[in-house]
Structure 1
Amino acid sequence: MSHPAPYLRARSPEQKEERRRHLLDTAKSLLLDIPDVHDLGINELARRAQMTKSNVYRYFESSEAVLLDVLVEEFVLWRTELRKTLSRDRKRSGTIEHIARAFAATVAARPLLCRLTSIFPSILEHNISAERMVEFKHGLLVVRKETALDFHACVPSISAASFERCIHVALPVLIGLWPLSHPAKLAAEVIELPELAALRYRFQHDLEEGLLMLLRSLE
């Protein structure tokens, strides 16, 4: 049976960031193995990171705080890929169809982002400090504004403010679509019945279609 290594307090900012980075990387690895993010607790994180529970609490106030930081990193990685995708196909850029396709494809390519986004209002925004909540909300606002500016650069005829409002409405669509398109085992089996085909959801396809509906209203 393995035991956490003797704890040596991280004193420099570099050492502290290294410990925090190790915990986040361990959390990401764990999330690949567990089907339910609710199963990621501080006890299991400490065990996998070879640290004691009390040491983990030096860096994160709760398991929700860990997941929230993982989500923030996923948003940053997604934004980078979205920007590349928007500018990659010059022939198709300049249309709302290109925007909807790029948005849906880059989101769908990051299932961890989708899993965490789908639960951040109901789970991740609990059991964290007000200070961390404010920081997270400011980060979300920055992502929304930057994405709206990228969309405006593709289609200048639609204002950045209008795109920002569209993204504001698109977020709850994403949050709802992920669990609907990844139902529990019994529900998944039931909707395979031919007469229930209309109740099936396809995440990327339906997200693109929903966003396109919103974008067309702007035109």
Structure 2
Amino acid sequence: MEFKRARSDEQRNERRRQILATAAAMLTEMPVADVALNELSRRVGLAKSNVLRYFESREAVLLELLDAEVQAWLAELEPLLQPVGGTPRERGDRLAAALAESLARRPVLCDLNSAQASVLERNVSTEVALHYKRATRRTFETLGGLVQRCVPELGLQDAARLGAVTTLIAAAAWPYSQPPAAMLAAYAADPELAALRADFTEVLRQTLEVTISGLLVRGEDRSISAERAG
């Protein structure tokens, strides 16, 4: 296919959208580790050097996809995380379940998130890093607002902390919940080992429940200390 340079901003943006859409489609077929720039270029119908006109690296493509996946997740959470009755702990448990279950429904997001620190942030420029980290900060602010809507007793600071913890625990738990063929065969051969396989939703839900409970107790302790000091 003869390469035709995109001349206008609209054409360049369309070319970027095509590259991102192709990479997103690949992620429904294979894990992040298997998404190669050569194959991405082939599927887009461009030489690798031409793909690099629009994104500086494979990792830059995937970081942008990660942000898009996160924004879609936040849009899904918006109607789910609504104020409801119950004690702070009961509302915290429901929040933990909603966060865990919503992430489990998004395997592409979880795979990208688990590769973020170890892979996706390793081959990008300062400019790309700044763009992504600023987007991440906005994500935590948005997620913190949704969390505080459900459990206002957490306060804004602890709600933001919970958003960061959710991302970190999900990143750690996801690889363990996706064992390779050899591990699956070992679990099948010895049922006593099957308990070692992590269930992503349960690990994340239980960890968030404990975290929320701890933050609530610490918040109460701070309030009591402030009252005594006053």
Residue by residue over 1:26-51, the C-alpha shift from the partner in whole angstroms, topping out at 9 and shown as x without a partner, is 111112222x3222222111110111
- Unaligned stretches of 5+ residues in structure 1: none
Contact map agreement 1:92 1:98 (CA 8 A) in 2:
no
1:102: Cα distance to partner? 1.3
CA RMSD of aligned residues (A): 1.8
19, 24, 27: which is aligned to 1:28? 24
CA distance in 1, matches of 2:168, 2:150: 24
8 Å Cα contact 2:92-2:151 kept in structure 1: yes
Determine what percentage of the aligned residue pairs are the same residue.
37
The equivalent of 1:199 in structure 2 is: 196
Matching of residue 173 in structure 1 with residue 175 in structure 2: no
Q: How many residues align?
A: 213
Q: 1:81 aligns with which of 60, 76, 85?
A: 76
Q: Equivalent residue of 1:33, what SS?
A: coil
Cα offsets for 1:139-195 (capped at 9, x unmatched): 111111111111111222220101112222332211111011111111122234232
| Matching residue's letter, 2:112 | L
C-alpha distance in 2 between matches for 1:206 and 1:42 = 33
Instruction: Write the distance in 2 (CA, Å) between the matches of 1:184 and 1:54.
Output: 33
Aligned to 1:131: 127
Give, in whole Å, the separation in 1 of the partners of 2:194 and 2:15: 48
Long gaps (5+) in structure 2: 217-230
Higher helix share: 2
Aligned to 2:56, the other structure's residue is in SS state coil
Alpha carbons 1:86, 1:93 under 8 Å: kept: no
Q: Radius of gyration: which is bigger?
A: 2
* TM-superposition CA deviations, 1:73-126 (whole Å, max 9, x none): 000100100112113x85679711221111111111110000010011000001
SS in 2 for 1:118: helix
Pick from 209, 212, 226: which aligns with 1:212? 209
Query: Measured at CA, do residues 93 and 74 of structure 1 come closer, stay the same or move farther in structure 2, by a change above 3 Å?
Result: farther
How far, CA to CA, are the matches of 1:196 and 1:33 in structure 2? 29
Name the counterpart of 1:153. Answer: 149
Distance in structure 1 (CA, Å) of the matches to 2:48 and 2:87 = 50
Counterpart code for 2:80: T
Q: TM-score, normalised by structure 2?
A: 0.87
TM-score, structure 1 as length reference: 0.91
Q: Could you say if the C-alpha distance between residues 92 and 60 of structure 1 is closer, same or farther in structure 2, counting changes exceeding 3 Å?
A: farther
For 1:64-75, what aligned pairs fall within 5 Å after superposition? 64-75=59-70
What secondary structure, in the 3-state scheme, does the structure 2 residue paired with 1:19 have? helix
Aligned match of 1:43: 38
